[in-house]
Amino acid sequence: MVIRSDGPRDNARDGAVRDGAVRDGAVRASARGRRVGLKDIADELGISQTAVSFAINDRPGVSEETKRKVKMAAAKLGWTPVYAAQALGSSKTMTVGFAPSRSADELQDESFMLHFMTGLHASLSRKGYGLLYRPCASLREELAVYRDWSARKRVDGVVLVDLRADDPRPALLNRLGVPAVLAGGPDPSSLMPSLSIDDGGTMETVLRHLLERGHRRIAYISGDPTLDYSKDREAAFRAFAKRRRLESIHVEFTDFKTERASELTLRLMALPVPPTAFIYESETLAAASLRSVAAHLIAQGRGLEGVPAIVSFEDSFICEAAYPSITSVHRDASEYGAKVAKLLLKVLAGDPVSGNRRILKPELVIRESTSRSINV
């Protein structure tokens, strides 16, 4: 049965398909064993191939009704776009770049980032985009990757993470003309939109929980002091301690090295008046330090009653599997990644977007490591 337009035929010009138009080519095989192309859709509807191309690509020149019927017919026939041909007909690569300054080993230890990338991919793939992942060992290497991608027109846009003080990346991408969004922030230069998590508010939630348990000597074992979110957490930590007149606080940085976290924890535990609670930047830092403290106490013939309260700013199976299980801040990293990808897709489509939004209020999951109240 042939479906025809109710109104007059659209006046899209015949001829070569230009710009963003999807071309005939390698698409999913039809039930008849041959490839479905734009001609098949045009024959089904009784309109020109150019009108079909304009409708598929949401270009001006055809009515909204025709666009709807073309897309329905395409779905019925099993047509899918050929992104290589799409790229030839336009400047798009259908690829988004992600080049965080982290080693592959560090990324494997970070469940949050792995789930974040899963969310990115899920949103991007639904729109036909691929995710090009390129881990970098340094900020200098990351900047070089962006210059290379721009010169070779390798990606349509970029996702940034881990905003730093005086971060050069937003300005560079702006100069290169590469669209980008920031997970975190906001960008103080307002060169790109961002989606961020309220790290300062989350730190206050953690501290209120510890204070309710009687802890007034607290240490914060952080990651990288140059990272924007670490600065927000530290500022909130110090402000809370001053406001609530905590007995003592300690802030130490580890560059996300588990050995350094364990060393610092044992050193602070050896003080004449040690902290009774520790907050760690990640679950790997928390779990490694917990293991070191437990081993130290056992070697001294003391039981695990001497283990301090522990909270992790990241949640994963590691926190559940540890003994005692570790209280942690739970954020849906996959959902976060999906929302960041959707923001970039809006930017790429030319849609208006707001400068910065805070999303995904984290939840504190209370486990055995902070279940006891103390009197000190």
- Multiple choice CATH, 199-330, 3.30.465.10, 3.30.450.20, 3.30.70.270, 3.40.50.2300: 3.40.50.2300
- Multiple choice CATH, 1-92, 1.10.10.10, 3.40.220.10, 3.40.50.300, 1.10.260.40: 1.10.260.40
SS (H, E, C) the chain: CCCCCCCCCCCCCCCCCCCCCCCCCCCCECCCCCECCHHHHHHHHCCCHHHHHHHHCCCCCCCHHHHHHHHHHHHHHCCCCCHHHHHHCCCCCCEEEECCCCCHHHHHHCHHHHHHHHHHHHHHHHCCCEEEECCCCCHHHHHHHHHHHHHCCCCCEEEEECCECCCCHHHHHHHHCCCEEEECCCCCCCCCCEEECCHHHHHHHHHHHHHHCCCCEEEEEECCCCEHHHHHHHHHHHHHHHHCCCCEEEEEECCCCHHHHHHHHHHHHCCCCCCCEEEECCHHHHHHHHHHHHHHHHHCCCCHHHCCEEEECCCCHHHHHCCCCCEEEECCHHHHHHHHHHHHHHHHHCCCCCCEEECCCCEEECCHHHCCCCCC
More confident residue, 349 or 359: 349
The Cα-based distances of 326 to 43, 174, 333, 374 in angstroms read: 63, 42, 19, 17
| Upper half-sphere CA count for residue 1 (Cβ side, 13 Å) | 3
Say if CB 311 and CB 210 are below 8 A apart: yes
Cis peptide before 100 (omega within 30 of 0): no
Calpha distance 147→173 (Å, rounded):
8
More confident residue, 198 or 133: 133
Give pLDDT tens digits for 262-297. 999 999 999 999 999 999 999 999 999 999 999 999
Q: What is the pLDDT of residue 35?
A: 67
Calpha distance 124→316 (Å, rounded):
24
Residue 218: phi, psi to the nearest 5? Answer: -130, 140
Average model confidence (pLDDT) for the chain?
Answer: 84
Query: What CATH homologous superfamily does 95-197+334-358 map to?
Result: Response regulator (3.40.50.2300)
Beta bridge pairs of residue 160: 182
Confidence of residue 13 (pLDDT cuts 50, 70, 90): very low
Calpha distance 261→253 (Å, rounded):
8
Asked if domains 1-92 and 95-197+334-358 share a fold, the reply is no
Confidence of residue 197 (pLDDT cuts 50, 70, 90): confident
Give pLDDT tens digits for 123-148. 999 988 999 999 898 999 999 999 99
Q: Express as a percent the part of the chain with pLDDT over 90.
A: 53
Dihedral (C-alpha) 233, 234, 240, 246: value to the nearest 10 degrees?
A: 130
Calpha distance 282→269 (Å, rounded):
19
Q: What is the pLDDT of residue 83?
A: 53
The Cα-based distances of 292 to 266, 270, 315 in angstroms read: 8, 13, 20
Q: What is the pLDDT of residue 49?
A: 85
Tokens for 61, please give them: 């020149």
Q: Where are the domains of the chain?
A: 1-92, 95-197+334-358, 199-330
Residue 151: phi, psi to the nearest 5? Answer: -65, -35
Calpha distance 369→311 (Å, rounded):
7
The Cα-based distances of 284 to 31, 229, 242, 288, 289 in angstroms read: 51, 18, 29, 6, 8
Q: What does the radius of gyration of the chain's CA atoms come to, in whole angstroms?
A: 27
Q: Does residue 106 carry a pLDDT above 60?
A: no
Confidence of residue 81 (pLDDT cuts 50, 70, 90): low
More confident residue, 21 or 1: 21
